[in-house]
Structure 1
Amino acid sequence: MPPTIAPDARPMSVAAEILDLLLPHHRTTDKAPAPAPAEAFPHQLRRIADFVRSGAPVVFTLPGFPCKSPNPAKVLGHLPDQGERLSLSFLNTLCTEIERLHPPGARLIICSDGHVFGDLIGVPDDHIDAYADDLRTQLNRMDLGRLSVFDLRDALGDLPHDTKRARVHERYAPTREALRAEIAADGQALALYRGITRFLVEDTTGWTGTRSALQRACRQRAYGVIQRSRAWGALIAAQHPRAVRLSIHPQPIGAPKFGIRLLDTADAWTTPWHSTALHRTDGTWTLVPRTEAARLGRLVEHGGRPSHFTQTDRDAP
C-alpha cells in the first residue's frame, strides 16, 4: 500500500514541493556549502501552505521592473527589450510548473516601482509610464496570462507623480535616522546601500562636478531610494497581505523575502533593466552592459526596435 500523508501535513508537503521549484533560482550572496532545503525558508513555506490549504492560486509579488537605466552604456533604450521578455517568460513558466503540483496554479504580480523613486534616479515619469505600459503589452502579446503589472498609478490613480511619491513616503517610509542605524548594524542592509549607491553613480549622466562629489551625492540619494523602496514594499504588503514576497535583490537564506534570479549573470545585482541581453554562441543567454554586448556580437532588432545582441566573438562572458 502506498504511503499516505496526513491531511494536516499535505499543505506543507505541497508547499515544500513548490518551493523546490524556486530554489534553483534563489538569488543570494550566502556562501552555503550545498543548496539549502525548502525547510530553511519557513516564511515562504507557511505562506504557500496557506494558499494550498485554502485551494487558492498561490500569489507572488515581485517589486521591480521599474524602468531602464538612463546610462546608454548599459541599455539599448528606455523600453523593455529581450532581457525583460526572457525574464517574463521565465516567471510565467514557474507559475505554469506550480500548476502541476497545485492545480489552482499560481499568479505573479510585478509591482513596477519606477515612479516610486524616478526623481531620485534621474528617469522622467513619461519614460517610466512607457516602460510599464510596454510590459503590459508584452504580457498580452506573449500570452503570459499568469503575470500582471501593478504600479503607482494603480495604487493612487491620476494624482501628479510627485504627490503620489510624497504620500507613499509619508505613510510608509522609515526615517532616515532609523535607516542609517540599520545600515550601520546590518551587513545585508549595508550591501544593499552600497549596491544602490554604485548603480546611482554609474547611471548619473551630465555630471559636471568631481568624482568624489558625485559619490557623496549618490550616497545621499541611495538613502532616499531605499526609503522609497521600503515604503513601496509596505504598500504592496497592505494591498496583498497574503502574498509570497519575492525580491530581485539577493536575500539571505530564511529571510522573509525570497531573492530570485531572473537570468544568468556574473553579478548577483545585475537586472534586465540595468543591462542588455546577449545570446551566446552556446545558445544560452546572459546580461551584460550594452558596450560589452556590442563588442562581443551584433545587434538584433525585434518589432522594429533594438532587442539584444547575438554573440559573434568567442570570448564569451
Structure 2
Amino acid sequence: MEPATNISHQNKINGRFQKVSPTTNTILNILHRYRLQTDASHGTEVSVGDPAFLSQIHDRLTRRVPFTCASLLSHLRVALAHLNGLCASITDVYKPGATLTIISDGLVYNDLLGVSDKAVWAYGQALRGMVITKGYSHIRFSRLQDLVHLRLSNISELEEMTYVANATNFRSALLNKFGRPDYDASSEIGSNEDTCVTSKGYKKFLENDLRHVFPVGAARSKTKFKAGTEYIAKQMLQRGDAFARAVHENFGDCLRLSIHPSNGEKKLSISTLPTQSIFTTPWHCTIADLLDWNSEVTIEPLYPPGWMIRPANGPNTLSILNVEAQKVRALSERNSPVILRGFSGTTSRDAYVSKAEEFGTLLPWKFKTVLEVMDQGQDSRGMNNVLSSEWMPFHYDGVFKGERKTSEDGTVKFVPNPPRFQFFTSVTPSPKDTGFTLFAGSRLIFANLPNSLPLSRLQQLTWTVTTPSFDAANFTGLPLITSHPTTGEPCLRYHEPWPQFKTAFEAVEVTIEGVNKDENKFICETLDELMHDRSVCYWHAWEKGDLLFSDNTLMHHTRSDFTSGASRELWRIHID
C-alpha cells in the first residue's frame, strides 16, 4: 500500500468527492500494513473497499470519537499483540484512540467441527486472560449472546456451566433472528466473489482440520470425506451470513476486519501474525527451536521482534554467570533484541563487564567502556540528548564514531566505525509508562515498504549526517543499505532527522544524497513512519536487573521521553 502522502486527499465519499484529512489517509494506510497478503493482493495499492473505509474513518475523525474495529477472529498471544499494536499505531496519530472488539464466532461453527462448547469457553477465557496479563488495553471482547440479545433469567453473568447450558440457545437465536431461509450457498458462491473466496478458504482448512476428526478409512472414502467437507463448508457459509448480518446490526459504525480473504468491499482482510506469508494463522503454524540451552530457561518470542529469556524455575534461580553469551549473540543476529530477565547479579559492574567480554571484544569510546545512561539535565557531555530525558531520534549506535580509512586511490576519509552489538543492564527501576527503549528491525521495515520505495531503490542511495555534537560530526556518502556481516541480509543504516524544534540540545541534519527535496522528504518520512509503526517497533519497559543484547547492524533504536530526574539508569557496553 502506498504511504498516506501518496493517496489522494480527495476521495469519493457517499457518492461525491470530498477532501479528507491526511490523518484519515494515514489511518487507512496503517490498516493496510496489517492486511492479509494473498496472491491477488500482492503488488496492489488500493482495495475495492477503500472509499467506504475512508468514509467511516473520515466520519469518526470529524466527530472526534474513538476509532473502533470489529474483528471476527480467534487469537493467540502473538496475534493479540499484533492487533493491539494496530490500535496503538492508530492512537499514535489520532489521540481519541482506537479499540478492537473481537467478536467470537466459536459457538457459530464449533458443533460442525466436532469442537465442544466447553472447549470454546475455555479458549475464550484464555484469550481474555492473556489480554489482561499482557496489558493489551486496546482490545475488547464480545460474545454471541451480545449479538442476539438473549436474556437469561436468574443469570447475571455467564460462567462455564451456564455458558455451555445455553450454547445451543445462542446458536438457535442467531439463525432465527438473522438467518435467511432462502439462502443458497451454491448460488452465493457462483455470484458473490467474497463468498467464493471464503468458501475456498473453508474447504482448504476443513480438509486439514477434520482429517483426524473424520479420518479416511474403510468406513469413509476420500470422495466421501471431500463431499462431507464441502457440505460443512456450505453450512458454515449459511451461518456465516447470519453472523455477518448480526455483526452489522450491532457494530454497523465499525470497520470490519477479518482473517478470511476478501475483495475488500465489505471487510478488510488482515493478517493475525507479523509475517509476510500468505494466509498464515496462529493455529496453523508453530515456533521451532533455534538453539539449545544448557541451563533451564524459558524463551518467549516478543512482538514484533525480539526474545525474552527467563530462568525456567523462577526469578533469581539462575545468575548472570549462567547466561550463555555466544548463544545469545547468535540469536540476536537473527532476531533482536534479546532480553534476559530474572537473572541475579546483573547490577554488579564487575559481573556485567566480565559477561560482556564473553560476547566479544569491548569497544571503548568517549565514555570509556561503560556508559551510564541517565538524565544529566543540560550536561550533554558532547553527546547531544543521549544523557537527557528527551525523546531521541531513531539511530544505530556509533553513527558518529569515526575512523580514518585509506581508499584504493590513496585518499584518506573519516568514516563511521559503529559497534556490532550493544549490551545493556538496568541498574534501577524505571517508570512503567515512560522511558521506553524502542527497537525497529530492518527485516520488518523492508517488509512494509510501499511499492513506490522498494528495497532496490534504497540500495542505490547514500546519505549525509551532520551535527555540532560528537566533535562536530559530519559524514557523507554513507550507504543507506549495507549487508549484515554474518547473515548477508540487507540492513538499513540511517539516522532519523532531528531538527532544532524537536530538541533543547543540538540538531541532527540528515539528507538523502542525489535526490530532489520532495523525494528526500518522502524517503525520510517513509522510513521514520515505518520505524515507529507498532507492527515493526518493539517498546521495551525496563525492569531492574534486565539484561538486553541487540545486534546494532540489524536494529535501530531510540528512547521515549520521561520525567526529568526520574529513576532510570542503564549501563551500556559496545561490543564487536
Per the normalisation by structure 2, the TM-score is: 0.42
Higher helix content, 1 or 2: 1
What is the alpha-carbon distance in structure 2 between the residues aligned to residue 303 and residue 201 of structure 1?
41
Counterpart position of 2:461: none
Deviation at 1:303, TM superposition (A): 11
Are residues 1:250 and 2:261 paired?
yes
Give, in whole Å, the separation in 2 of the partners of 1:303 and 1:51: 49
- For 2:107 and 2:224, how far apart are their aligned partners in 1? 26
- CA distance in structure 2 between the partners assigned to 1:163 and 1:224 by the alignment: 18
Residue number in structure 2 paired with 1:271: 281
Alpha-carbon distance change, 203 to 37 in structure 1, aligned in 2, over 3 angstroms: closer
- Write the mapping of 1:224-263 to structure 2, written as runs, cut at 5 A: 224-252=235-263, 254-263=264-273
Q: Distance in 2 between matches of 1:119 and 1:32?
A: 33
1:124 is matched with 116
1:202 aligned to 2:211?
no
Aligned-pair Cα RMSD in Å: 3.4
**Structure 2 SS opposite 1:148:** strand
- Select the structure of larger CA radius of gyration: 2
Higher alpha-carbon deviation: 46-55 or 258-267? 258-267
2:68 is paired with a residue whose SS is: strand
Q: Which amino acid aligns with 1:241?
A: G
Matching residue of 1:18: 27
Please report how far the alpha carbon of residue 238 of structure 1 lies from its aligned counterpart in structure 2 after TM superposition: 1.3
Aligned residues: 268
Q: Distance in 1 between matches of 2:181 and 2:284?
A: 28
Match of 2:230 in 1: 219
Displacement of 1:94: 1.3
Match of 1:53 among 33, 42, 62: 62
Q: Which has the higher contact order (CA 8 A, sep 6+)?
A: 1
Distance 2:223 2:313 in 1: 42
Alignment of 1:164 with 2:170, yes or no, is yes
Unaligned runs of 5+ in 1: 66-79, 286-299, 305-311
Please identify runs of 4+ aligned residues in structure 1 that moved more than 6 A.
Answer: 300-304
The 3-state SS of whatever aligns with 1:273 is helix
Q: 1:20/1:224 Cα in 2 relative to 1: closer, same or farther (>3 Å)?
A: same
How big is each residue's C-alpha offset from its partner over 1:28-59, in whole Å with a ceiling of 9 and x where there is no partner?
A: 53535744148961111111111111111100
Structure 1 Cα separation of the partners of residues 41 and 214 of structure 2: 42
Measured in 2, the distance between the counterparts of 1:141 and 1:121 equals 30
1:302, CA displacement in angstroms?
9.2
Instruction: Label 1:118 to 1:54 Cα distance change in 2 as closer, same or farther (>3 A).
Output: same
Specify the SS of the correspondent of 1:61.
strand
Distance in 1 between residues matched to 2:277 and 2:283, nearest whole Å? 14
Q: Which runs of 5+ in 2 are unaligned?
A: 1-8, 11-16, 153-161, 292-298, 302-309, 315-330, 335-576
1:200, CA displacement in angstroms? 1.8
Following the alignment from structure 1 to structure 2, what is the Cα–Cα distance between the partners of residues 162 and 35? Answer: 42
Q: 1:278 to 1:88 in 2, by over 3 A?
A: farther
Which moved further from structure 2: 193-202 or 109-118?
Answer: 193-202
Using the alignment, how far apart are the partners of 2:39 and 2:65 within structure 1?
Answer: 32
Distance 1:227 1:28 in 2: 26
Tell me whether 1:181 sits opposite 2:178 in the alignment: no
Hey, what's the Cα distance between the residues in 2 that align with 1:231 and 1:59? 22
Task: Quickly say closer, same or farther: Cα 1:160–1:40, change in 2 above 3 A.
Answer: closer
Separation in 1, partners of 2:126, 2:53: 30
Q: Which residue is equivalent to 2:86?
A: 94
Structure 1 residues 132-152: Cα deviation after superposition (integer angstroms, max 9, x where no partner): 011110000000011011122
Question: 1:13 Cα shift?
Answer: 3.0
Q: Is the 8 A contact 2:47 2:265 kept in 1?
A: no
- What secondary structure does 1:184 align onto? helix
Higher relative strand content: 2
Equivalent residues in 2 for 1:14-93 (5 A)? 14-29=23-38, 31=40, 34-37=43-46, 41-65=50-74, 84-93=76-85
Quote the Cα distance in structure 2 between the aligned partners of 1:43 and 1:179: 26
Task: Supply the AA of the counterpart residue of 2:26.
Answer: E
**1:270–1:260 distance in 2 versus 1, CA, 3 Å:** same
* Equivalent position SS for 1:262: coil
Q: 1:235 to 1:251 in 2, by over 3 A?
A: same
Partner SS state of residue 38, structure 2:
coil
CA pair 219-49 structure 1, distance change in 2 beyond 3 A: same
Q: CA offset at residue 190 of structure 1?
A: 2.3
Q: Taking structure 1 as reference, are residues 212 and 38 closer, same or farther at Cα in structure 2, changes over 3 Å only? A: closer
1:177 CA displacement: 4.8
Q: Deviations over 1:157-211 (max 9, x none)?
A: 6562112111211222344653211102344422321221222222221434111
Residue 153 of structure 2 is aligned to residue 143 of structure 1: no
| Identity value in percent | 25
Question: Deviation at 1:118?
Answer: 0.8
| Structure-2 separation of matches of 1:127 and 1:190 | 29
Aligned to 2:422: none
My pick for the range that moved more, 261-270 or 49-58, is 261-270
CA contact (8 A) 2:72 2:102 kept: yes
- 1:112, 1:150 within 8 Å by CA — same for their partners in 2? yes
